[in-house]
Amino acid sequence: MFSKVPENNEGVLNLPRINFTVLSFFPIQGFLGTGATFAADLNLVVQIIMGTGLIVGWFLAKRQRYRAHGICQTSVLFLNLLMTGLVMWPSFQQQVKPALTKALHNRYYEAATIHAVFGTVAELLGLYIVVVAGTNVIPQSLRFKRWKLWMRAELVLWMIVLGMGFGTYYAWYIAPFR
């Protein structure tokens, strides 16, 4: 799973790269009729389901079913972390990172990079909210006070990131084939 990486020219040891080939047993061709891989199509469908789950979680909070709300939102957060690790991060590492400094002006790379930045912020904010809401690990001085504001901001941010994900899917798998 780890590939040995030699030392660089300065004698500093590079960290080993993790080779995520977990989804390589799936067929190469996707199932949505675009130019996407199976993993990309699966990720798109799962992201749509998760976006729906977040809206359901919001309704649960509006109905004051806070325990169900917390379970719903936290489940989506951790499922997204899994999908990021299995599909999105390896794709970014393989397709975007090598060309990032040379071709950022290209829509293909811009869409993925902007989505990755905003997605990282959304995921980290979500993890912070879960830790604050579900544990006493964070000191009182670092906890937010206005729950509704932060959770609504997270929901809006997540919906923006979901839209950016659709944009990335379009730029990567639909636009090149038109």
| Residue pLDDT, tens place only, 128-175 | 999 999 899 999 999 988 988 999 999 999 999 999 999 999 988 998
Confidence of residue 76 (pLDDT cuts 50, 70, 90): very high
Is the whole-model pTM more than 0.75? yes
Calpha distance 147→159 (Å, rounded): 18
Query: What would the mean pLDDT of 56-60 be, rounded to a whole number?
Result: 97
Contact by Cβ (8 Å): 1, 10: no
Tell me the sheet residues that pair with 37: 29
Residue with tokens 């690790």: 85
Q: What is the pLDDT of residues 104-136, one digit of tens each?
A: 778 888 889 999 999 999 999 999 999 999 899
